Amino acid sequence: MVETISHYINGQLIKSVGEKYFPIYNPATGEITAQVPRATTKEVNDAIDAAKKAFLTWSQVTPLKRARILFNFKFLLDKNIDKIATLLTAEHGKTLDDARGEVLRAIELVEFSCGTPHLLQGNYSENVGPDIDTYTMKQPLGVCVGISPFNFPVMISTWMFVPAIACGNTFILKPSEKDPSTTLLLAALMHEAGLPAGVLNVIHGDKETVDALITHDDIAAVSAVGSTPV
């Protein structure tokens, strides 16, 4: 019996109770190595509720403390690069060197995002008009969603959730159903780095899952890479 991939909601692996599953193949052998579920409506709502609740506290964490967690995440990516690359190769089929290169691009993004506190600074302008001063503030939006593609599941997923989380948002990631396992590993490493439960969630599915996410009233922003049908 093949492994069933779980959702990652509120800091825990959650086994789906959905009725539809998609096979995951090892491209080198054609063997079915696992199956991934389509999230139920309740599972989608549970992920959104967890992210909403986490946003209340995560948005109040100082940018410096958020950056420290990203530093920890970067070190864990360095430590686990071979594990991530091997899993990526097994599900996607790209060579191990290409897989390592993809992880390295993800690490570079995390390194950049560690400097987010500087980018979040506001500004103040005096006397822009008669008796008028102006100031700007940069504030988190809320619960964000990322729809990542099959061809770069580590790199593009990281490009989506790391900057959003660094800015004080919470995040729900819906990876491709063809190679979702690396994103679960990334979520586990973020949790190990010190990210509070509910800040990053991973749910699985197809277009129906995507539609349920992006049409939900509590979603503040969406980042998506994929084909028009998806």
Question: Helices 96-113 & 155-166, crossing angle to 10 degrees?
Answer: 10
Residue for token pair 């959003």: 164
What gap in Å lies between CA 115 and CA 202, rounded to an integer?
A: 25
Of 149, 150, 146, 147, residue with least CA distance to 91? 150
Residue bearing the bigger pLDDT, 120 or 201: 201
* Range 3-119+139-224 has CATH code 3.40.50.20: no
**Residue 228: pLDDT over 80:** no
What gap in Å lies between CA 167 and CA 139, rounded to an integer?
A: 8
pLDDT digits (tens, 9 = 90+) for 19-72: 999 999 999 999 999 999 999 999 999 999 999 999 999 999 999 999 999 999
pTM above 0.85, yes or no: yes
pLDDT digits (tens, 9 = 90+) for 203-224: 999 999 999 999 999 999 999 9
Sheet strand arrangement including 200-202: 12-14, 7-9, 200-202, 170-174, 143-147, 219-224
What gap in Å lies between CA 4 and CA 34, rounded to an integer?
A: 6
